[in-house]
């Protein structure tokens, strides 16, 4: 009987460890933790996946900006940035830049990384003067220097509701080191765009 009781207690203890480990890996029954260096927005509980507006770092941008998760406009979870470039100085600017930031829960190894990629959604009808966007990534964490700007974002495929989807890549020079935070921006280029733009499948590759 003593042997059976010890065996039962041991089995219960091991089962408890397994259950705790399982809950930890899924956030206590929720979705799995988002990998650092990659952001999708499928899980409503994930919100903006750590992205927030770096308001104090906006550059030559005079409009309002709001950041949120949206799963209604295009029928799936996306990171939504509402922008307003209608101010005359913004509309005439070749670089009007609201910024987003993300502070990583753990440092991300940049060894072998050569690009930052994402899907970008925008509605051409929200811009009445034919401008467009540029994208930029920046980090100076842990002495790591990352500061790169991509080509103009134009074209794209039909994404519904008047929106276009463009696959964007910002190429970078390999720079071994660990990144613990980053800044990301969509800058207006001679645009008076007012309305939401969306992001998905944001990732370092």
| Entry pTM | 0.82
Q: Could you state, in order of their start, the residue ranges of all structural domains in the chain?
A: 1-30, 38-204
101: how many CB neighbours lie within 10 A of its CB?
A: 19
- Check if the beta carbon of residue 47 is closer than 8 Å to that of residue 69: yes
- Check if the beta carbon of residue 169 is closer than 8 Å to that of residue 202: no
- Pick from 90, 169, 92: which is nearest to 136 by CA? 169
Tens-digit pLDDT string for the chain (205 aa): 444 554 444 334 433 333 333 333 333 333 445 567 999 999 999 999 999 999 999 999 999 999 999 999 999 999 999 999 999 999 999 999 999 999 999 999 999 999 999 999 999 999 999 889 999 999 988 878 899 999 999 999 999 999 999 999 999 988 889 999 999 999 999 999 999 999 999 999 9
The rounded Cα 195 to chain-centroid distance in angstroms is 18
CATH number for the domain running over 38-204: 2.60.120.260
């Amino acid at each position: 009987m003593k042997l059976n009781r010890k065996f039962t207690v041991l089995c219960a203890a091991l089962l408890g460890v397994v259950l705790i480990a399982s809950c930890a890996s899924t956030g206590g029954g929720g979705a799995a933790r988002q990998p650092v260096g990659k952001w999708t927005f499928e899980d409503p509980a994930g919100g903006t996946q750590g992205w927030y507006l770096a308001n104090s770092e906006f550059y030559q941008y005079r409009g309002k900006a709001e950041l949120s998760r949206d799963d209604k406009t295009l029928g799936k979870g996306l990171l939504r940035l509402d922008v307003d470039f209608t101010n005359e100085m913004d509309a005439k600017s070749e670089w009007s830049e609201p910024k987003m930031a993300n502070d990583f829960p753990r440092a991300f190894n940049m060894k072998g990384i050569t690009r930052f990629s994402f899907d970008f959604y925008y509605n051409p009808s929200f811009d009445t003067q034919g401008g467009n966007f540029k994208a930029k990534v920046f980090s100076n964490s842990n002495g790591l220097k990352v500061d790169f700007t991509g080509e103009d974002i134009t074209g794209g495929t039909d994404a519904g509701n008047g929106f276009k989807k463009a696959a964007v890549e910002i190429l970078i020079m390999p720079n071994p080191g660990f990144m613990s935070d980053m800044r990301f921006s969509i800058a207006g280029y001679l645009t008076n765009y007012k309305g939401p733009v969306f992001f998905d499948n944001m990732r370092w590759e």
